[in-house]
Amino acid sequence: MKRAAIPWIAIALIIAGLPLVTSSNYLVGTMCFVAIYGTLAVGMGILLELAGIFSLAHPTFFGLGAYSGAVIAVKHVAPPWAGTIIGTVLVTAVSYLIGAPLLRLKGFYLACATFGLLVIVEISLGQFGSLTGGHEGLVGIPPLSIAGYVFESDVQFYYLSWAFCLGQLWFLSNVMNGRVGRAIRSFHDSETASRSMGVNISRYKLQIFMLTSAIAAIAGSIYCFYLRFTQPGIFGFPLLVDLMTMLIIGGGKTIWGPLLGSFVITWLRELIHGYLGNILPRMTGEVDAVFFGFLIIIILIFMPGGLTGWIFKLESWLRERFFKSAHASGQPTGGI
């Protein structure tokens, strides 16, 4: 138990210390996006890779969370922090209404239905101009403040987004390694056997779907109060592709793999834009699409488990090489 906590504490310390050793707003700000996209990718990884729920609507719940929090704040219905809470409750309710019928679908049928949802919501957000600001986006979002403490700077949002990201990672990792998570992973492997062990599959599918949607909605609120701006296009197909890339490159069979994917993708994109911005100023978008396309192909061929799969292979190789035992792992019960 104590040993398992060491990596968590180490990562938390590194994250907490970063703003102390750098004064670069660019670095801290980019790390904010790593946390927010990482939060989303982790939830999507659980749905797709561990629960076997092929839902593509994750960016939609992120977007609905961002818009509901922002609209409530802009229209002065409630202060931003209350807007976040109300928005999250609303989005969770929506995810129930959507999940209850749609989660009966399987595999590609579910993917089609949820992809439809993604497109419909993106277009609708653009059309309800009086409420959402239309395709141009919603401006004038007031700053997030909690009990007089105002979140404005990059560093403040850095701590907020990483606290939330690591908090949900810890929570989901507990869930997925506990009774409910084992049940969820069991129906990914065999629905028939899972049912015969007494697992109420539709109930747990709905629960994990609503939970990850609620988390995505909170991430959406943090995102829009950080940018103080939202636009329907942010929550559409490009974000879905980004999240899928993070899953593939990070590896979705562990809880934290997608977060690693978010780190790698976000920084690679920054690097590409940084270098190519000077050489090919008008083509950076196209170039990074082509680059990530190739990267996905290479990862799928040479390391199908993503970076985390590769790390585990390396670990077990080192163990066999130096300790002559493949199963004397620090985590004797398996787990993820």
Partner 1 sequence: MTNPPILEVNLLTRHFGGIRALNDVSLTLEQGSITSMIGPNGAGKTTFVNVVTGVHPPNNGSAKFAGHDTTGMAPHQIAALGIGRTFQLEELFVGMSALENAMVGCHTKSRCGIFATGFRLPFARDEERKIRDEAVDNLSLVGLAGKASYPVTKLPLGERKLVGIARALGMKPRLLLLDEPAGGLAAHEVERLTTLIYALVERDITIFIIEHNMPFVMSLSERVIVLNEGYKIADGAPADIRGNEQVIKAYLGEEDSH
Fill in the amino acid letter for 216: A
Q: Which stretch binds partner 1 (CB under 8 A): 110-118, 136-144, 181-189, 270-278?
A: 181-189
Nearest CA among 64, 99, 72 for reference residue 235: 64
Residue 186 binds partner 1, judged by CB under 8 A: yes
Rounded Cα distance between 129 and 138, Å, is: 9
Q: Which stretch binds partner 1 (CB under 8 A): 139-147, 188-196, 267-275, 298-306?
A: 188-196
Cβ closest to partner 1, residue 90 vs residue 180: 180
Residue 278 binds partner 1, judged by CB under 8 A: no
User: Residue 166 half-sphere exposure, CB side, CA atoms within 13 Å?
Assistant: 17
Q: Which stretch binds partner 1 (CB under 8 A): 22-30, 128-136, 288-296, 326-334?
A: 326-334
Residue 207 binds partner 1, judged by CB under 8 A: yes
Q: Which two tokens stand for residue 286?
A: 């196209």
Residue 193 binds partner 1, judged by CB under 8 A: yes
Residue 211 binds partner 1, judged by CB under 8 A: yes
Residue 189 binds partner 1, judged by CB under 8 A: yes
Residue 197 binds partner 1, judged by CB under 8 A: yes
Q: Which two tokens stand for residue 8?
A: 């968590």
What is the three-state SS of 109-168? HHHHHHHHHHHHHHHHHHHCHHHHCHHHCECCCCCEEECCEEECCHHHHHHHHHHHHHHH
Degrees, nearest 5: CA angle 283-243-232: 70
Cβ closest to partner 1, residue 135 vs residue 182: 182
| CB 158 to partner 1: min, Å | 25
Q: Are 53 and 209 in contact (CB under 8 A)?
A: yes
Residue 276 binds partner 1, judged by CB under 8 A: no
Residues binding partner 1 (CB under 8 A): 171-172, 174-175, 178-183, 185-186, 188-190, 192-201, 207-208, 211, 253, 327, 329, 332-335
